[in-house]
Structure 1
Amino acid sequence: MPDILRYLTPTILFALVLLTALFCLFGWYWSLVRNSRGLLPHILLQGGTGVRLPPKPKFSFAGRCHPMVRLDWVLLVLVTAVYAATAFFRLGSTTAPTSFLSCAETGTSVTVSLTEPVLVSKLWYYPGLGTGGYNLEISSDGEHWSTLWTRTAEDGTSTEYYWADAADYAPGYHLEQNYDDLFKWLEVDPVNDLEVRYLRLTARVDRGPLELGELVLFDENGQAVDAAALSQDESPLFDEFSAVPEDISWYNSTYFDEIYHARTAYEHIRGIYPYEISHPPLGKLILGLGIQLFGMTPFGWRFMGTLFGVLMLPVLYVFLKNLFGKSIVAFCGTALFAFDFMHLTQTRIATIDTYGVFFILLMYYFMYRYLTLPAGTTFKEGAPWLFLSGLFWGIGAASKWTVIYGGVGLALLYFIGLWFKLRDWPRSQKDEPAVLVPLGPWLVKTLSFSVLCFVLLPAVIYVLSYLPYAYASGDMSLANLLNITWDNQVYMLTYHQGVHDTHPYESRWYQWIVDGRPILYYLDYQENNMKSAFAAFSNPVVCWGGLLALLSTAVRMVQKRCGRGLFIVIAYFSQLAPWFFIFRTTFAYHYFPSILFLVFALCYIFDEWIELEPEQGRTALCVTTGAAVLLYAAFYPVLIGLSVPRWYTTNCLQWFLSWPF
């Protein structure tokens, strides 16, 4: 009991109210289903009359794909535009240092002199590529030098910087540039202030080239000094004072896995063999397009992910309209996903998960279009849908391995659908001459083409995605490309199996499905009882309501022998089930692909509700969507890192103690 009580907070009342409302909502739905005899549709006899009910239906994916109408395009543009405005708002700084001091080897040194002395109270620096460190020395007269050094603070738990007489110390490279320090502003605040007119920087190169973008000196009043105006020498260390931010935050620096993926994208652009090779390359190549458009700035490395997050919505809307045929279901379903918390947070961070989810959505959409074709459809009519499904599965797999998990579900749906088509293939009837598609040739063509689309094409895409590795190695031969590709697969498998380090925000799949443990990406306590923080987790309406909807969809799938329900259940579990057997360190964002299909499950239930009771169903759908939008607005500050009073997050947003903001 104490372990349970320690997670309780006064704000848990918000969670209890929402959960009660959701259970009542689904209780209402199931009451309606029972009253409509939906649970007993296949009773053999009616009241002893001997009249048989219609035969039990067969599972089938075949059906009509409902087209878009003018209203759909209006609603699609509306929800996409509103979401895009919230997604691109304060996405990241459009400025950052672009000229770098490059040090090719250890011992590289640069000296800068100023026209007048400056009392230095602290300094900032902005590392670029490479890892290593710098020995920083300052002098007021050019003869007596002080070096930056570190020591353990009095509390014994932290390290503090101080200036020491360089004559008494060997060079110490205490201005560090580690792999997790790149493309972010770092602060050094020595305990003693010294006057500086001459500055000397000497590099230690661990992995080159070692690049330093900007060095900022602060005077005794804590004001940044435009050293370029005082410098007698031109130096890339002081040439971009306009790029210096007012403060250091996520807005102008890398955070979480951006330190890997944004850097890797930039290394591909520069033709440098990447440091981070724990995922396939294509996601980082897509990410790099934003850098090429807007420079190596926070906005540049986050742009493509946010754009793909926006582009998911039109695809989803068309998918839902094709699936259910109701504009209100397509609109509200798209809004539920648009205003899901994780959809916003994950697409604004420069990692590769966004691209995986985008291609998962596309590959399932085109597979669904193929499966809905009735048995007897010509090979030519079905081939484009198979090709597009395989194409986007291949592109997605070359972006992140989580798409391969979805490929298992895709294959299962394909073979189940193929069996349905073979079972229902039209046979010519006696005395009814008809032109029918021959089954044998159709099956041979379909299977052969499927191998091309889902095996050969993805394999080619996957191998070609490693061309930047081959280019950086200096050998573009096919043999080298294949060797690099194979070696990287071995490395990735070994790497991910070995990730078992504990993390304060790690979580398992059974926590994801109930929003049990969000992952905190950023936290900064500020003056005046303000704070800036954001975390990745799902909108409780989508997470909890979607889970109830998924369970209901599974039941109704069996009761109605419904192909649409089967499609949704398989798609959801193909993304989640592999995590049942993965015991490495995992986080809430791994649930992102599955959240997509929670929305499908919600739409499935509300679509049936509208079929049974149109007014009730529409009202329930709109109220549910409205609740999700209200929560999105309430939690928006802790989804993008806006500064808010601490009382607001504590008294309104921290529904559980495991929610870390």
Structure 2
Amino acid sequence: MASLRSRRSRPNAQLSDSERLVPSKEKKLTGVVQKARLYPQNDSYAIAVFTILAIFSRFYRISTPPAVVFDELHFSKFVDRLLTGTWFFDIHPPLGKLILAYGSYILGYRPDPTFVIEKIGNPYPKSVKYVLVRSISAAFGVCTVPMTYVISRNLSISRASSILATSSVLFDFLGLIEGRLILMDSQLLFFCQVALLCALQLWKTEPRSAKRWIWLTLTGLSAGAALSIKHTALATPGVIAVVSFFGLHFLKTPLTLVECLYAGSCGLALYASTFYFMFNLLWKTGGKYDRFMPPHFRRTLIGAAEYDPAAKRVSFLRLFWYLNRRMVQSNANIKKRHTWESDWYHWIVNWRGVLYFLHKEARNNTTIRTQVYLLGNPVIIYLTLLCVVSFMMLLVLYARYRDHVQKRKMYRKLEQIGYNGAFLLSGWLCNLLPYILVDRAAFIYHYIPGLFYGQLLAGLMLDMVPHGVRIYLVMMLIVCMFSSFIYWSPWIYAVPLPNELHVERRWLPKWT
């Protein structure tokens, strides 16, 4: 220590060449050590940690409750019909159901013809390996967590802020509950994420390069896959298409018309192929579902009243067009109101959730209540809303004082945050605004894709905070997210509690 102090006290000119190099090395080494304390040594460590945490959170108590939960009533039936070749009709495209059915079939799931699901809450018999089907949803739910980190880093969000954005996906109740049941929203979010990540890679490629065509293909296919899960995925392919066609922010020049058409064709081809597989897999009458198809199709279904062994199937394109038109019409014609429906402006403030499952029993003169209640993590929902509103205000202030901002040294960094933020804000808005025009019943789980863009925006906004403060802020927010997750975990994992403890957790009047 004495020699080090004496060396530092001498002027730099009196140091030898070797001594002159030491301080810069020490400074560099110190920086690495400090960084290692604050972050994982590199991004792969963070991805691994988040993957492990996601596996635990999505698969923990996945067999509970051992009964039909909310829309498992429909999707469990669709899985069984796909595996038995029985026709059915749904307002959503086939890919999500195909993945649930054949993914679980590979794991060992087999339909039980003696079990008929009649209503929500019906217990699954031991012969039905429902956990295998739930596991497919859980696997996609797991993947959405590390994917958030990868996308954040590709948007040039700092490691600390990326950790915050990823933690918000890890601990949010909406994606967590949907990803533990026989539902499709974990697949929906995953393929939207893949499409966004592929687009970010596409926009970095050089025109007419081999990499560009590879990423064009992958972007088109992943966007088509997202749309093949649910039509509500359209916002992500739409935003990607607008940026690509007009060459906004991420691109020096717009993609050519040929490139745009090629990517779109890849997506459309994948979308159409899912219907092709469904038409060829389902060959038995579906009873009441047959009426959704034209007579010439019903004549080909074995067991149908109009069945004709000599009948030939109509052309695929004709069937494809007919069924898609019928899906859209049926979706628009749903007029029945639902007890747990809510509006888009309820979702952004967590005003009301959905009671997915409820069981009551009396124990020692106490009512024990077991429930699954779909709700957003309050910390995450309000943090996201705060960041979205704050960013909108900053855009207004920038438009007013842009001449002053452009003269500041931090302008380049602020400019990048502004453009990336505008892109994420567009994703948030495009996922929400269509529901203003939707007249049918909608639910808080429809907010999942939009919330994801808001969570990324929250991470991006945090990069505007000074580095030292940012670290402590990230730590504090993650602690709050985790504490909220623990507090409301009985509503996620169907943990039996006395009724009064459930009442304590009802912080808003519309929560049940």
TM-score by length of 2: 0.75
1:545 aligns with 2:383: yes
2:508 alignment counterpart = 656
- 2:327 corresponds to 1:492: yes
TM-aligned CA distance change 1:252 to 1:69, over 3 Å = closer
Shift of 1:288: 1.1
Structure-1 residue corresponding to 2:108: 294
Letter in 1 for 2:461: I
Q: Which residue of 2 aligns with 1:21?
A: none
CA contact (8 A) 2:216 2:262 kept: no
Paired residue secondary structure (1:527): strand
Q: Which has the higher strand share?
A: 1
Answer yes or no: is 1:578 the counterpart of 2:413: no
Greater Rg over alpha carbons, structure: 1
Q: CA deviation at 1:325?
A: 4.7
Q: Percent identity?
A: 22
Q: Structure 1 pair 389/478, CA: closer, same or farther in 2 (3 Å)?
A: farther
Structure 1 residue 302, shift from structure 2 partner: 0.9
Amino acid at match of 1:503: H
Is this contact kept in 1: 2:203–2:250, CA < 8 A? no
Instruction: State the alpha-carbon separation in 2 of the partners of residues 333 and 480 from structure 1.
Output: 47
Q: Take 1:264 and 1:252, find their aligned partners in 2: how far apart are those partners?
A: 19
Q: Which runs of 5+ in 2 are unaligned?
A: 1-38, 111-128, 284-299, 302-310, 399-413
Mapped partners of 1:263, 1:71: distance in 2: 45
In the TM superposition, residue 449 of structure 1 has moved relative to its aligned partner by 2.4
Which residue does 2:177 correspond to in 1?
Answer: 345
Report the equivalent of 1:643: 496
Q: Deviations over 1:394-418 (max 9, x none)?
A: 1111111111233222222223435
Q: Give the Cα separation in 2 of the matches to 1:387 and 1:587.
A: 33
Q: Counterparts in 2 of 1:264-413, with a 5 A limit?
A: 264-274=78-88, 276-292=89-105, 293-296=107-110, 297-372=129-204, 377-413=207-243
3-state SS of 2:282 partner: helix
2:43 to 65, 72, 95: 72
Whether 2:274 is the aligned partner of 1:465: answer yes
Query: Residues of 1 paired with 2:108 and 2:250: CA distance?
Result: 50
| In 2, Cα distance between equivalents of 1:536 and 1:514 | 14
Following TM superposition, by how much is the alpha carbon of 1:557 offset from its aligned partner in structure 2, in angstroms? Answer: 4.9
Distance 2:94 2:463 in 1: 40
- Shift, 1:540, TM fit: 1.1
Instruction: Give the superposition deviation at 1:320.
Output: 0.9
Distance 1:452 1:513 in 2: 36
The match for 2:484 is 631
Instruction: Identify the match of residue 70 of structure 2 among 256, 263, 269.
Output: 256
Maintained 8 Å contact 1:290/1:302: no
CA distance in 2, matches of 1:471, 1:564: 44
Structure 1 spans left out of the alignment, 5+ residues: 1-67, 93-249, 426-442
Q: Could you tell me how far 1:344 is from its partner in structure 2? A: 0.7
Residue 369 of structure 1: how far off its partner (Å): 2.4
Indicate the residue corresponding to 1:52 in structure 2. none
Distance, in Å, in 2 between the alignment partners of 1:484 and 1:405 is: 26
Which amino acid counterpart does residue 470 of structure 1 have in structure 2?
N
| Aligned residue number for residue 593 of structure 1 | 449
Aligned to 2:288: none
Structure with the larger helix share: 2
Task: Find the counterpart in structure 1 of residue 115 from structure 2.
Answer: none
Secondary structure in structure 1 of the residue aligned to 2:350: coil
Whether 1:563 aligns to 2:416 is: no
Partner of 1:483: 318
Alignment match, 1:174:
none
Q: Is the 8 A contact 1:568 1:597 kept in 2?
A: yes
The change in CA–CA distance for 1:551 and 1:368 in structure 2 (over 3 A counts) is: farther
SS at match of 1:398: helix
> Against the structure 1 CA distance between its residues 524 and 491, is the aligned structure 2 distance closer, same or farther, given a 3 Å change threshold?
same
Match of residue 507 from structure 1: 342
Q: Is the 8 A contact 2:165 2:455 kept in 1?
A: yes
CA offset digits 1:19-60 (Å, max 9, x no partner): xxxxxxxxxxxxxxxxxxxxxxxxxxxxxxxxxxxxxxxxxx
Check conservation: 2:160, 2:470, Cα contact below 8 A: no
Cα separation, partners in 2 of 1:388 and 1:74, compared to 1, 3 Å: same
Whether contact under 8 Å (1:516, 1:658) holds in the other structure is: yes
C-alpha separation in 2, matches of 1:85 and 1:315: 16
Aligned 8 A contact 1:405 1:575 in 2? yes
Q: What is the alpha-carbon distance in structure 2 between the residues aligned to residue 69 and residue 531 of structure 1?
A: 41
Aligned 8 A contact 1:324 1:607 in 2: no
Following superposition, the deviation at residue 552 of structure 1 comes to 2.0
TM-score (norm 1): 0.59
In 2, Cα distance between the equivalents of 1:656 and 1:325?
Answer: 34
Aligned residues: 408
The alignment partner of 2:70 has SS state of coil
Do 1:268 and 1:285's aligned partners in 2 also have CA atoms closer than 8 Å?
yes
Question: 1:641/1:265 Cα in 2 relative to 1: closer, same or farther (>3 Å)?
Answer: same
In 2, distance between residues paired with 1:287 and 1:523? 25
CA RMSD of aligned residues (A): 2.3
> Which deviations, in whole Å up to 9, do the C-alpha atoms of 1:52-106 show, x marking residues without a partner?
xxxxxxxxxxxxxxxx9853222221122122112111212xxxxxxxxxxxxxx
CA pair 452-74 structure 1, distance change in 2 beyond 3 A: same
**Does residue 617 of structure 1 match 2:470?**
yes
Matched letter for residue 199 of structure 2:
M
Kindly report which structure 2 residues correspond to 1:37-116, keeping only aligned pairs within 5 A, or say none: 70-92=41-63
